[in-house]
Amino acid sequence: MNNQDALITATADYVQELLSGEGSGHDWWHIYRVWNNAKAIAAQERADFFVVELAALLHDIGDHKFHNGDESVGPRMAEEWLKRLQVSPAITQHVCLIIKELSFKGAGTSSAMSSPEGCVVQDADRLDAIGAIGIARAFAYGGYKNRELYNPHIPPELHDSFAAYKASAAPTINHFYEKLLLLKDRMHTNTAKQLARQRHQYIEAFLEQFYAEWQGQR
C-alpha cells in the first residue's frame, strides 16, 4: 500500500465512523456510492484520482443542510482532517474548493466547477440523487424534515438564489421539479451524461405512476 492508498483508507474509515447510521439519505452508504461513481467516471476522464477520491469521501461530512445553512462547515472540516493527515497544502486547497462548489444551489443559479476533478465529483454526487436511489433518498430526507409527500396546492418553485433554495420547506414531490429532473442536463462528463439518461427516465416513470395512483387510476 502506497502513502496515497493509506490516506484514502484512513479517510474512508473516518467518514464511515462519522456518518454510519445517519437516516436522512446522507449517510456513509451515500458516500460509498459517490466514491465508486467518482472512481468510475475518473477512469474515463483526465482527472487526478487522489484528489477525486478525497473530495468524494469528504464532500458531505459537514453538509450545510445539517448546520443551519452554514456553507463553510464542510470545507473547514475537510481542511482540518487533511491537515491532520499532513496532505500537501495544494491538494488540501483543491479538495476544499471542490467541496465548497459542489452543492446544487437552485434552478436559476450556476453550478460551475473550477477543475476536472470537481466536475467528476459533482457528477458522481448528482448521479446518486437520481434514479431509484435518488427517489429513495428524496423521501428519506423529506421524512427526516417532516415534509409532506405531495400537496397539489403547493406548486414547485424554480429558485433563483441559493438562499431561497435552502429556505424551501416544500413537499418532497416538488423537489423532483426543483432539482432532480434538472440534473441530467447539468452533468459535465460524457460518462455521467450516459448514466444519467436511464436514471432520469426512471424518475419520469415514477412520477407518472405516482400521479396515476394519487388520482386512483391504477
Q: How many domains does the chain have?
A: 1
CATH code for position 60: 1.10.3210.50
| Residue 69 reports pLDDT greater than 90 | no
For residue 41, give its domain range: 3-214
| Residue 200 reports pLDDT greater than 60 | yes
Do the Cβ atoms of 54 and 11 come closer than 8 Å?
Answer: yes
Mean pLDDT of the chain: 91
pLDDT on residue 158: 86
The reported pTM is 0.91
| Residue keyed to cell 433563483 | 160
Choose among 125, 83, 66, 85: nearest CA to 101: 125
Distance CA(16)–CA(8), nearest Å, equals 12
Choose among 56, 88, 59: nearest CA to 75: 59
User: Residue 163, Cβ neighbours under 10 Å: how many?
Assistant: 12
Distance CA(173)–CA(175), nearest Å, equals 5
- What is the percent of the chain with per-residue pLDDT over 90, rounded to a whole number? 74
First to last CA, the chain: 55
Average pLDDT over residues 57-67: 80
Secondary structure (3-state) at 81: helix
State which H helix or E strand residue 164 sits in.
Answer: helix 162-167
Band the pLDDT of 66: cuts 50, 70, 90: low
Band the pLDDT of 63: cuts 50, 70, 90: confident
One-letter amino acid for residue 13 of the chain: D
Choose among 69, 95, 67: nearest CA to 82: 95
Band the pLDDT of 137: cuts 50, 70, 90: very high
Which stretch of 2-11, 102-111, 177-186, 208-217 has the lowest confidence by average pLDDT?
Answer: 102-111
Which stretch of 5-14, 100-109, 149-158 has the lowest confidence by average pLDDT?
Answer: 100-109
Average pLDDT over residues 170-183: 95
- Of the two residues 159 and 52, the one the predictor is more confident about is 52
